[in-house]
Amino acid sequence: VAAYDLLLYLEKKHGKDFSFPLTRQEYIRGLEKLQRRYFPLLYPRGINGLLLTFGLNRMFLERRLPYVAFWAASGRKLFARMADMLRQDIPVVLSVGPNFPLVWQKNRLVFYRLAYDGRFFPAADVTGHYVTALEMTDEWVKIASWGRSYYIRIDEYEDYEDIEEEEIYEED
């Protein structure tokens, strides 16, 4: 899903003869086509980060898009790197992990929608899902998932993924 949303964004950006799917059925059809060609799913979990990276690079190469994907699990540096890439208008595939290694936990990350009056409201909650980050502020990341725009709060993502700030200890 994240790879397809990424492709939709990049092909539009690079002026390819491509338009966003108009219906959910068209979106699903395009998603299935992309999955068969580039992204083998490992049941029951889906796809891991390394296979996703390999599939993205193959897709970029075949479509002559000037990108190279790499998998990085950087914890504290994640949002600084993401902000840098988004400033260059390079979307980022972000993992909403499956509560690993404590897979029995039922933690979920909330996706928000933006109301017409500028307020955010909860729209969905997920686990074990990849999304495509498109924009970022100090508090929010605008994402694409299933061809729709949502937002995640950075502090909620950090809590969900248990990203710790680096603590510096001085010896006495």
pTM for the structure as a whole: 0.76
Categorize the per-residue pLDDT at 137 as very low, low, confident or very high, splitting at 50, 70 and 90: very high
- Which pLDDT tens digit goes with each residue over 63-119? 888 888 888 766 668 888 889 989 998 889 988 876 555 555 677 889 999 999 999
Looking at the DSSP bridge assignments, the partners of residue 151 are 112, 142
Give 53's Cβ-side CA count (13 Å radius): 11
Of 163 and 169, more confident: 163
96-105 confidence digits (pLDDT tens): 876 555 555 6
Kind and range of the H or E run holding 114:
strand 109-114
Q: At residue 19, does pLDDT exceed 80?
A: no
Q: For residue 65, how many other CB atoms are within 10 A of its CB? A: 17
pLDDT at 75: 66
| Confidence at 168, pLDDT banded by 50, 70, 90 | very low
Does residue 153 have a pLDDT over 70?
A: yes
Residue 82 burial (10 A CB sphere; 0-12, 13-18, 19+): buried
169 in helix, strand or coil? coil
pLDDT per position as a tens digit, 43-63: 666 777 888 899 999 999 998
What pLDDT is stored for residue 57 in this prediction? Answer: 94
User: What is the pLDDT at residue 160?
Assistant: 80
